[in-house]
Copies of this chain bind each other. A is one copy, B any other.
Amino acid sequence: MDPATEPADPTAPADLAIVNCTALVGTTTPRAQFAPGATIEIRDGRLSRIDANPLEPVRAREVIDARGMVAMPGLINTHSHAAMTFLRGAAEDVAVSAWFNDYIWPMEVNVGERDVYLGTMVAAAEMIECGVTTFADHYFFMDEAARAVVDSGLRANLGSAFFSTQGDDGLADSVAFAERWSGAAGGRITTCIAPHAPYTVNDQHLRRAADEARRLGVKVHLHASEDIAQARSSITSRGLTPIQVLDETGVLDAGTIIAHGNGIVDDDIPVLARYRDRVGVTHGPKGYFKFALGPITPIAALRAAGVPVGYCTDGVASNNTMDILESMRVAAITQKQIAGDATYFNAGMALDIAGPGSAAVLGQRGALGELTVGAHADVILVDLDGFHCQPVHDVAAALVYSVQPSDVRTTIVGGRVLMRDRQLLTIEREPLLAEFRLRSKEITDRTHGRSIQDYTP
């Protein structure tokens, strides 16, 4: 039996218990469900008890009293380039093509292995501090990102990004990475095959990426139909939307994390619906609005077709933060406006996308994103006692519309406490930031006149 799924001895004391919390125990419509006075027990990295039964004694080696706090599933960032923290604020208030061609891709010429470790560690610190416990990452020098996952204690799905301009080597590296790190860090690391996008990776490489993903039992994680301009360009140049390209090349069949899908058109919905058991779309609206992308991920149509939607931050070079609470809030308010309906996308739905929705995008529904017995013990404690959350007439609304990232007091991954009462336990701040700040300055140098790629989708 796989140790990860072997049931813990229920007669032994729990490794950790959280008592007196208000637990988010369900996000089914029309309202999220909370259990006040709840007890959560954790054994062998999994949730082994969740109830609000005061008569049932608590037996645990360590007990956290979470009075006045909400316990909720750790947040999931379904698409990021975590290392890009070193470019936070380096390319502001510019359109997408200038962002890529004039700033980001020239700057990324300077990025080395060590930078990816440093940048990912800074992102990890930020994520732990704002309650993100799992992130799906898509970048270069991913061995270093994996080491940051090992060291920080976070959970991650990692993919080594590649372009077809690298010849066959990029794909080969992506496959080797996915094999090398799958199941590492005690199972906290899962992997994927990570072609950059249909506009930078040719059909042959997409097809082989899909084959390799099927062989390894992992997903393909890539950018596709990021905005309507990309979709139109693809239709013009080859008569297919980017989503249809993914269908034709077998990428959807292999299972796919699609970032960002703002250019998904009506014709794409039934295509995606055929693969809804293995394909999901990731949504990070702050960056889309900053880029003035126009039409936004058709969340309502996707969910109506059963296609999972999750939240993401993308990289902070566009989104400025790794804060999924912010992605959730911006999604909630703007989806109402787009739908023209204030009753749509209520706080319960916002939390459903944060939990089961985002877990499903990663293919891990039931294991992540919900507080149920058997799920990974990824839990955050959120303090609603701040003036800015008081009074709490509606817990779900407080979490979606009022809470601040600093209200996340404690972050737990697989039963291990990574932050306790705002103190990071796995990341040492000063030496990390000192080296990171120095390299961040050097990375923005563009005097070399080179670029890692052209953005001409």
Contacts and interface: CB of A to CB of B under 8 A. Distances in A.
Contacts of A358: none
A391 B289 contact: no
A320 interface: yes
A90 interface: yes
Contacts of A392: 89
A89 B391 contact: yes
B320 A397 contact: yes
B293 A402 contact: no
Interface residues of A, number: 69
Contact of A336 (B99, B290, B402): B290
Interface stretch (A41-49, A125-133, A206-214, A275-283): A125-133
A89 B401 CA distance: 9
A127 to B, nearest CB: 9
Given A333-B286, A333-B289, A398 B89 contact: yes
A340 B440 contact: no
Interface string A128-142: 011000000000000
A321 B92 CA distance: 27
B391 A320 contact: no
B388 A405 contact: yes
B292 A337 contact: yes
Contacts of A389: 88
A237 interface: no
Interface in A176-196: none
A441 B323 CA distance: 32
Given A333-B330, A406-B404, A126 B387 contact: yes
Interface stretch (A11-19, A197-205, A240-248, A342-350): A342-350
Given A292-B339, A330-B333, 17 more contacts: A88-B393, A89-B394, A92-B401, A93-B346, A93-B397, A94-B342, A126-B386, A130-B388, A289-B336, A291-B336, A320-B397, A321-B388, A321-B401, A387-B429, A390-B437, A391-B436, A405-B406
Ranked 10 nearest A-B pairs via Cβ: A89-B394, A320-B401, A289-B333, A406-B406, A93-B346, A89-B393, A391-B440, A289-B337, A126-B387, A125-B387
Interface of A: 85-90, 92-96, 99, 122, 125-126, 129-130, 286, 288-294, 316, 320-323, 330, 332-334, 336-337, 339-347, 386-394, 396-398, 401-402, 404-406, 429, 433, 436-437, 440-441, 444
